[in-house]
Structure 1
Amino acid sequence: MALVPYEEGAGWGARQLHSPAATYRFASRTIRLRQDWRRLGVAAVVWDAAVVLCAYLEMGSTDLRDRSVIELGAGTGLLGIVATLL
């Protein structure tokens, strides 16, 4: 696990983590997720790594049909949702 110094209100990237919702478009679907950083912490936000991996999976180089996929540590579950849709 990596620890990153964090100050609320500082920096550009932190603002998106405090947004109450995040909306993405993957697998020809719009996915809207609720976020709650203050109450639930780091597990309750969509992290950039999950978005990047979703985009990679959507490119189609990895066939997910008839496969079991487990997602660990990617925030709100965006990656698991997209893997299911693909």
Structure 2
Amino acid sequence: MDEMGVVLQVLPGYQLKLSFRNGSEAIVDMRHRIHAIRFGRLSSPALFHAARLEGSEVVWDDGTHCVRASINELLDSMQMD
């Protein structure tokens, strides 16, 4: 658990599971988002599975490419599904 009380787990099928200190959980489905310019680099399975938390952001970094998204951005994107 990071300092914000969030645990990140990468799931199969380009999904992220966010577990919060209060016991709530969110599954963020990125399957459609990886085809957009903003998240296109995440179509690489290796990069997607490199996800980690840095403060209030999810960071995907494989040493060559780096993509960042705030937890709030990811949660907001769930409302568009």
Query: TM-score when scaled to structure 2?
Result: 0.33
Q: Which has the higher strand share?
A: 2
Q: Which structure ranks higher in relative contact order (CA pairs < 8 Å, sequence separation ≥ 6)?
A: 1
Query: TM-score when scaled to structure 1?
Result: 0.31
Q: Which has the higher helix share?
A: 1
Determine which structure has more spread, i.e. the larger CA radius of gyration. Answer: 1
